[in-house]
Amino acid sequence: MKILVCISHVPDTTSKINFVNGDSEFDTNGVQFVINPNDEFGLTRAIWFQEQQGATVTVVNVGGPETEPTLRKALAIGANEAIRINANPTDGFFVAQQLAEVIKTGGYDLIIAGKESLDYNGGMVPGMMAGILGYNFVTSCAGLTIEGTNAIAIREIDGGKETLSASLPLIIGSQKGLVEEKDLRIPNMRGIMTARTKVINVVEPIAANVNSKAVQFEKPAAKSAVKLVAADHLDELIQLLHNEAKVI
């Protein structure tokens, strides 16, 4: 079985977020980038298929040379090969078109992409890839087993879970539950050293449409100052809750 895991290069959640050029671009200075968490759950499950069923695992990313450390971490975790599509990931449809081309030429049986990325939270790319390719698709996937060319997938829905059967090739939108956080792999020294010697296959992008553009970013409003009320000033507390907070 050939597995392709799509990897997004996203800011760590502890990063301080700023914007430049009139708040039209994300400021990457001083920001630590990591594997998108939903992708990491998918990668860990792919490595399980590698170890238990002899699958080969390829990771792919759309981005410039600055994303290669993230791909090398995926290699250190256990991926066999890495592909970098040499393009700026301008919007979800553009990224989906680039990834779909790699899928078509690579003949992959299972394609795993996080259900959404930590930065834009668009949740578009896996479904768009499935639409372009005409592949079966399961999003919010929190469980997956494969026997031969048949897959059983469990996905989260409002109020519960749904179990689906599908044939390969299959695209899934992965999330926590596909594996648990305790099962995520930490690269060991041998994996890190091996990853350093592996060649990242850089491919040029195909001509593709860009249908959307980020015009401006805006930070959430700062939290207001906290007012402290002495424990014996109950009337003042009620007055503040009624007139200022307007919750009673």
Does 38 reside within a domain?
yes
Domain that holds residue 155: 2-220
Helix, strand, or coil (residue 139): strand
Q: What is the pLDDT of residues 137-167, one digit of tens each?
A: 999 999 999 999 999 999 999 889 999 999 9
Mean pLDDT of 21-25: 87
Binning pLDDT at 50, 70 and 90, where does residue 247 land?
A: confident
Asked, for residue 235, whether it belongs to a domain, the answer is: no
Within a domain: 247: no
Instruction: List, for residues 112-139, the tens digit of each pLDDT value.
Output: 999 999 888 888 999 999 999 999 999 9
Q: Is residue 225 part of a domain?
A: no
- Joined together, the tokens standing for residue 111 give 């394609």
For residue 244, pLDDT over 90 is answered with no
Q: What share of the chain is helix, strand, coil (3-state, %, to 5)?
A: 30, 30, 40
Q: pLDDT at position 42, please?
A: 96
For residue 227, tell me if it sits in a domain.
Answer: no
Please report the pLDDT score of residue 223 as a whole number: 80
CATH number of the domain residue 209 falls in: 3.40.50.620
Token pair of 223, please?
């939290």
The pLDDT of residue 122 is 83
Instruction: Return d(Cα 209, Cα 127) in angstroms, integer.
Output: 17
Burial 199-208 (b: 16+ CB within 10 A, else e): ebeeeeeeeb
User: Has residue 165 been placed in a domain?
Assistant: yes
Average pLDDT score, the chain: 92
The tally of domains found in the chain comes to 1
- Interacting residues of 189 by C-beta distance below 8 A, sequence separation 6+: none
Report pLDDT for 246. Answer: 84
Let me know if residue 148 belongs to a domain. Answer: yes
> Shortest CA distance to 45 belongs to which of 114, 144, 129?
144
Based on the number of CB atoms within 10 Å of its own CB, is 52 exposed (0-12), middle (13-18) or buried (19 or more)?
Answer: exposed
Answer whether residue 59 is part of any domain. yes
Lowest mean pLDDT among 5-9, 79-83, 216-220: 216-220
